[in-house]
Amino acid sequence: MHSDGYYFGTTLARRIDYFAFPRTGSHFLWTSLTGLLDLVFFANEHVENPEARQRNEELNPLATYAMKLREDGVPFQPVHIDAAPNGLHGTPRLGAHPVLLLIRDPHPTIYSWYHTSVDRWGAKVDDVPAWIADAYRSYARFYDDALAMHCADPARVHLVRFEELKASPAILAGVAAFIGVRPKLSPDFVFEWTRFDRMTRPGPRTFYRTGDSATWKADAQWREWLGAVAPGDFSRFGYPESP
């Protein structure tokens, strides 16, 4: 790393800061970005650890192989996306570099966060409604800051919605255009190989769980807890549905 930027060989990488709340789909997005972009980064504790390697075992190796390909004639264009510019899941802030934001409906987000914490990491939660209430408050604080930043400088802050990312390759094309590079693989190709059911291995998974935004609705116990918590209105984030 140089004081004036991150050089990969003699090429200056485009630098992007990235912010997302836990369980909003970051790893799904990053799998897509490995096919779309020439990602370069320093080895760090977030990727060089047993947990990171184990969660990759839940991915379809054919999909991860496909993301390493490149279309003929596309030049190498290094892109350095800093996923922890203010600490991992740190408070969103706009610094010297453009920002990529990822947001997801809070209801499946909090549900997924709870089950991943308990089922994968063995967290012990004695008071689930209190945990849920605190998680929703944290989500609201995070995205109040994130969307204020987006409103203040929309040209330098690009917002991606997880639901739209899963629905259309146009979202990936928009990310590449925002960064200002030619995709190394077409957004349509990347989109097809990173459909959630295609990019993951079949069978039980504890990290890449379902990618579904409706699973929480069928969980009667969860809806009972959620009703007791009454997390409030999230329409300001573009998610008007109330539990």
Dump strand ranges (E) for the chain: 7-8, 11-12, 14-20, 38-39, 78-82, 99-103, 157-161
Q: What pLDDT, in 10s, does the model give residues 9-58?
A: 657 789 999 999 998 988 889 999 999 999 987 666 655 656 666 777 88
pLDDT at site 117: 86
Do the Cβ atoms of 170 and 31 come closer than 8 Å? no
Q: List, in order of start, the domains of the chain with CATH numbers.
A: 7-227 (3.40.50.300)
Please state, in angstroms and rounded to a whole number, the distance separating the CA atoms of residues 209 and 108.
11
Q: 10 Å Cβ neighbour count for 129?
A: 15
Say whether 128 sits in a helix, a strand or coil: helix
pLDDT at site 59: 85
- What does the pLDDT average to over 65-85? 93
Please check the confidence at residue 208 and state whether its pLDDT lies above 50.
yes
Burial class (CB in 10 A: 0-12, 13-18, 19+), 47: middle
pLDDT at site 1: 46
- C-alpha distances (whole Å) from 140 to each of 5, 106, 109, 121 are 33, 9, 12, 24
Give the predicted TM-score (pTM) of the model. Answer: 0.89
Q: How confident is the model at residue 121 (pLDDT cuts 50, 70, 90)?
A: confident
Contacts of 133 (CB under 8 A, 6+ apart): 229, 231
